[in-house]
Every structure is written in structure tokens, then in C-alpha cells.
């Protein structure tokens, strides 16, 4: 039998709150996307090692000031959380809650790659939901510490009138900092299994994987710690995710691990069954390497270079906008071979800039580079490359009110304002920009560069000590931005985006 060698992590990039399933010989996985649009990325694999983004569940899911970055509002750290993916009766279902709208969303489609997805909205927050189809009935398990069960209609579009809707049980409280959350629900071997994570204040004091099981839907449920390991990385527990099996009967779990500034990264973990309990890992540990009984497939990049050579204004799936885009104000066809970003509103910093186009960063190190044409920027405009998180850094061009241009490196100065660390006079039109990210062993440093010819590079400003903060709740992204501080109507043209990962 052909086998594939797995090396953990599966992806050294921010792909959190993973929920995997198998449909035939293909595996699909959804993850949290919060304020990035389009959202709820669907990834596909045939070997559990190489994953390709094949679709998104939605382009946007709400249209309001916060989702549009208007009037100082935003949904950083909110948006869609911890989606659940299931396949039932030839239909794919994805559900999630949004912390900013306090609503529960259910999407369904027959075609997970091409859509379309039908959308249903249910009032009320159902934290970290786990969807379960069980003998003609549909349930959602949700909560943090207090675990609830809610019965939905057979098509999962609404709460079932007169159906089960109650507290199922309370999880452990003693010496627990973060009580159980991140539910994944299954019915296997005659049992109901509910998988969670929790974070104890004693012992190893790291996130760990918990399993509750019962032969009856409403309990009582037994509890067991099924994994408590950090893969040798700074006491960061590998936990939270779902189970899946292969056609030949092997079992695995796709979990994730906090990896500081790069984000929360997925790991594949072997699973065995003993006395109808899932046993995660090998001798209680997540192996760095092991083989799965599947033939290896072609590797597909998670982050790509892009020459912006498109026939229509539809970008590669690897790109996501920071919040809802204004589709009137960007194009890859208006100036062929360029991404053109126009300003349509004013902003005081890059985190409030509309139409910032982003991709993930990857460890252990990576570099993103672009060529910026500033010919059509107006006084007060800012454009360039950003290392995007709450504690961000930018390298780009700022046009002063008198029309003078400067190459600048800026950081978050607090109170919603950018702090300029260095500004170099610039009398040209075109400049090369680059950011190098180093995530090796949590160095978590980004260095910013500019060049007049794309060959000789000069560092600018200071290295950014990257920090993963919960107000954004997302690993660092690299983005192309343009915004106005004085008047709208200017535009910035990006000739390409070139990316390289260093292993």
C-alpha cells in the first residue's frame, strides 16, 4: 500500500478551529476566518497532508458599518467563529456563530466547490457549535462550560418547534481556567462523543483535549482527558478539532496549536480506540512524523505569488479582504497586469483601511514583495505592504498634504493612530517594497525594506516584534493597502505580489 509521510504541523500557518470530514475518498476541512472575506474557507485533501483551498462558504455574511470598516467600527476578533462542517444526504452543511451579531448561521450546498450556498439565520449566540445528524434528527451542541443542546429542523434551517433545547451538562470547574468549549459531536460505536478543549490552572497548565461520552443523547456523560501534549513547543497544547477516518479504517484527529505570532496551526494526530474511548497520539504524545495509509498527492500552496494577470475581476482563492470589500474600488482589469486600489473613504490608519487585500504568513520564515506605482496617489494618501495584526507594521509611500512623497515605515502608535518610525524623501513614481517574517522558535520578528531597482534593498524603520493579540485573534497576515487621510479618489497600482517561504 502506498503511504504518505506526515510531518507536524500540517500547515505552519493560521488555520484555526479546524473541523474535518471525509466524503468518499476526499477530505474536507473548514476553519475560522473571523474578519477576513470571503470567509469560512473550505480546504480539500486526498492524503491528509496536502490541503488546497477549493471554496469559501460566503463572500460576506453581513453588510453593516462594522463589517465595512466605516465610522471607526470593525469586527476584529469577531465575525465567524469555530465553524462546524458536516455532510448528510448528499448535502454539505456549515454552521457558525458571530460574536458581533449574536446570531447563528447555517449554510448548505450540494456542491461544496462551486456552490451556491443557501443561508439561514437563527437569533442567538451558540458558542463554538458542533453539528450532529442523528437518525433523522439534527442537533447543535454549544457553550463554554455550560454545554447546551438545541434541536434543529430536519433541514437545519431553524430551531425545531417543541424540540430539545436545554442545558446538557456543566463541565469541570475546579482548577480550570478555560472551561470546555470548541465542541465536535459524533455518534460512533453506539455512543455519543463530544470533544472539547479546556485549560487547567494546575498540572501542565496548557490547553488539552477532553472527551465526554454517553450511550444516551441526554446523558449522563462520562469524561476523560484524551490528549495533553505540546509537541515540544513552549507548553502550547495541541487541542481542539475533529475526528475522521480513512476508507481502510484508520482514525485521525485534526487539531491545532497556538504558535504565537504566526497564528494557530493545524496538526494531524493518530487516533486508536480502546474500550470505545478515542486514544489520541502515540503513548500520549503527538508524533512529529508518522505514516498514513494513503497515496501522497500533489502539494498545493496555501500562500501564492500573483502577477495580477486576470481576465476578470475575480482573484485567486488564496486572497482574502480585510473586512467586507467595496467592489467598486478595486480592479485587476482596469490596468491590465496590476491590482488597482482606489480610495472611497477616509481612514486614520491601515487597520481602518477599506480594501486591504491579504494572505496568510507561514513559518518558519517567509517574505512578501511588491512593486508599487504611486503616480495616481493624492495628497494624504498612504499605500504599501502591511504586516497585519493589532500590533502592525507597514512599509509604503505617504503623500504629504503639499504633494511631497516619502517612503515610510510605520507601526501602531496607539489610540488608532500610526506612528512613523522612519520617513525617506521619494521623488519617483515606482518603488519596490518587501517584508521578511521570521517565526522560527517564536522569534516573531518582521523586517521592512524598500528598493529602487528590486535588487539593492535598504531596511527601513525598526524590526517589528510581532505579537498575537486577542483583539484581532488572528495570526499575522501580509497585505496590500491603499487609503486616504485627506481626500478620496486617488489610486495605487501594484504590479505584482511575490512570495517565498523559507523552510
Domains and CATH numbers, the chain: 21-292 (2.115.10.20), 320-502 (2.60.120.200)
What's the pLDDT at 415? 76
- Which residue out of 14, 19, 62, 181 is catalytically annotated? 181
Residue 1 has a pLDDT of: 66
C-alpha 221/C-alpha 214 separation (Å) is 5
Calpha distance 98→119 (Å, rounded): 14
The distance from CA 248 to its chain's CA centroid, rounded to whole angstroms, is: 31
Q: How far is CA 153 from CA 137, 163, 164, 167, 456, in A?
A: 7, 9, 11, 19, 63
The pLDDT value given to residue 413: 85
Read off the C-alpha cell for 9: 504541523
Q: For position 343, what pLDDT does the model report?
A: 98
pLDDT of residue 416: 72
Residue 349 is classified by DSSP as S
Region of 328 on the Ramachandran plot (φ > 0 left; ψ -120 to 50 alpha; else beta): alpha
Tens-level pLDDT at each residue, the chain (503 residues)? 689 999 999 999 999 999 999 999 999 999 999 999 999 999 999 999 999 999 999 999 999 999 999 999 999 999 999 999 999 999 999 999 999 999 999 999 999 999 999 999 999 999 999 999 999 999 999 999 999 999 999 999 999 999 999 999 999 999 999 999 999 999 999 999 999 999 999 999 999 999 999 999 999 999 999 999 999 999 999 999 999 999 999 999 999 999 999 999 999 999 999 999 999 999 999 999 999 999 999 999 999 999 999 999 999 999 999 999 999 999 999 999 999 999 999 999 999 999 999 999 999 999 999 999 999 999 999 999 999 999 999 999 999 999 999 999 999 988 778 999 999 999 999 999 999 999 998 899 999 999 999 999 999 999 999 999 999 999 999 999 999 999 999 999 999 999 999 98
Q: Is 296 a catalytic residue?
A: no
Write the CB contacts of 237 (distance below 8 Å, at least 6 apart in sequence).
197, 199, 204, 206, 207, 208, 209, 228, 229, 230, 257, 258
Q: Which of 14, 17, 151, 362 is catalytic?
A: 17
Q: What is the per-residue pLDDT for 417? A: 82
* pLDDT the model gives residue 414: 82
- Strand (E) or helix (H) holding 496: strand 491-502
Q: Are 291 and 321 in contact (CB under 8 A)?
A: no
Are the C-beta atoms of 331 and 491 separated by less than 8 Å? no
Establish whether 181 is a catalytic residue. yes
Residues 321-380 pLDDT 10s: 999 999 999 999 999 999 999 999 999 999 999 999 999 999 999 999 999 999 999 999
Dihedral pair phi/psi, residue 220, rounded to 5°: -75, 155
Q: Cα-flanking dihedrals φ and ψ of residue 327, to 5°?
A: -70, -10
Q: CA separation (Å) from 425 to 396, 428, 493?
A: 12, 9, 20
Amino acid at each position: 500500500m502506498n503511504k504518505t509521510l506526515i510531518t507536524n504541523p500540517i500547515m505552519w500557518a493560521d488555520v484555526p478551529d479546524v473541523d474535518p470530514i471525509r466524503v468518499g475518498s476526499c477530505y474536507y476541512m473548514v476553519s475560522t476566518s473571523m474578519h477576513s472575506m470571503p470567509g469560512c474557507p473550505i480546504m480539500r485533501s486526498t492524503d491528509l497532508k496536502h490541503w488546497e483551498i477549493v471554496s469559501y462558504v460566503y463572500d460576506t455574511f453581513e453588510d453593516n458599518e462594522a463589517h465595512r470598516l466605516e465610522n471607526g467600527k470593525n469586527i476584529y476578533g469577531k465575525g465567524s467563529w469555530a465553524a462546524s462542517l458536516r455532510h448528510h444526504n448528499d448535502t454539505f452543511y456549515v454552521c457558525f456563530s458571530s460574536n458581533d451579531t449574536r446570531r447563528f448561521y447555517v449554510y448548505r450546498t450540494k456542491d461544496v466547490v462551486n456552490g451556491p450556498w443557501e443561508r439561514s439565520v437563527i437569533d442567538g449566540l451558540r458558542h463554538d457549535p458542533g453539528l450532529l445528524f442523528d437518525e433523522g434528527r439534527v442537533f447543535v451542541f454549544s457553550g463554554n462550560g455550560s454545554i447546551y443542546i438545541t434541536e434543529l429542523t430536519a433541514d437545519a434551517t431553524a430551531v425545531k418547534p417543541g424540540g430539545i433545547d436545554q442545558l446538557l451538562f456543566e463541565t469541570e470547574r475546579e482548577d480550570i481556567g478555560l472551561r470546555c468549549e470548541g465542541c465536535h459531536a459524533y455518534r460512533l460505536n453506539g455512543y455519543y462523543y463530544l470533544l472539547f478543549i479546556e485549560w487547567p490552572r494546575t498540572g501542565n497548565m496548557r490547553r488539552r483535549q477532553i472527551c465526554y461520552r454517553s450511550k444516551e443523547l441526554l446523558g449522563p456523560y462520562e469524561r476523560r482527558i484524551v490528549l495533553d501534549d505540546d509537541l515540544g513547543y513552549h507548553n502550547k497544547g495541541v487541542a481542539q478539532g475533529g475526528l475522521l477516518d480513512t476508507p481502510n479504517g484508520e482514525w485521525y484527529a485534526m487539531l491545532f496549536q497556538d504558535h504565537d505570532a504566526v497564528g494557530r496551526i493545524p496538526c494531524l494526530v493518530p487516533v486508536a480506540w480502546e474500550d470505545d474511548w478515542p486514544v489520541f497520539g502515540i503513548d500520549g504524545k503527538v508524533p512529529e512524523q508518522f505514516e498514513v495509509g494513503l497515496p501522497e498527492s500533489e502539494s498545493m500552496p496555501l500562500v501564492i505569488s500573483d502577477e495580477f494577470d486576470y481576465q476578470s475581476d475575480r482573484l485567486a482563492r488564496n486572497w482574502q479582504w480585510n473586512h467586507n470589500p467595496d467592489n467598486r474600488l478595486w480592479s485587476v482589469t482596469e490596468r491590465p497586469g496590476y491590482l488597482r486600489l482606489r480610495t472611497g473613504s477616509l481612514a486614520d490608519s491601515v487597520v481602518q483601511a477599506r480594501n486591504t487585500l491579504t494572505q496568510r504568513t507561514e513559518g518558519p520564515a517567509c517574505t512578501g514583495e511588491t512593486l508599487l506605482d504611486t503616480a495616481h496617489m493624492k495628497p494624504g494618501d498612504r499605500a504599501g505592504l502591511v504586516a497585519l495584526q493589532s500590533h502592525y507594521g507597514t512599509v509604503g509611500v505617504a503623500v504629504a498634504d503639499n504633494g511631497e512623497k516619502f517612503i515610510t515605515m510605520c507601526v501602531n502608535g496607539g489610540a488608532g493612530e500610526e506612528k512613523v518610525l522612519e520617513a525617506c524623501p521619494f521623488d519617483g513614481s515606482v518603488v519596490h517594497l518587501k517584508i521578511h517574517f521570521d517565526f522560527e522558535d517564536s522569534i516573531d520578528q518582521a523586517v521592512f525594506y524598500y528598493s529602487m531597482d528590486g535588487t539593492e534593498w535598504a531596511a527601513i524603520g525598526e524590526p517589528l516584534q510581532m505579537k498575537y493579540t486577542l483583539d484581532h485573534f488572528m495570526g499575522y497576515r501580509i497585505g496590500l493597502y491603499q487609503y486616504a487621510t485627506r481626500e478620496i479618489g486617488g489610486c495605487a497600482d501594484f504590479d505584482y505580489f511575490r512570495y517565498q517561504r523559507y523552510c
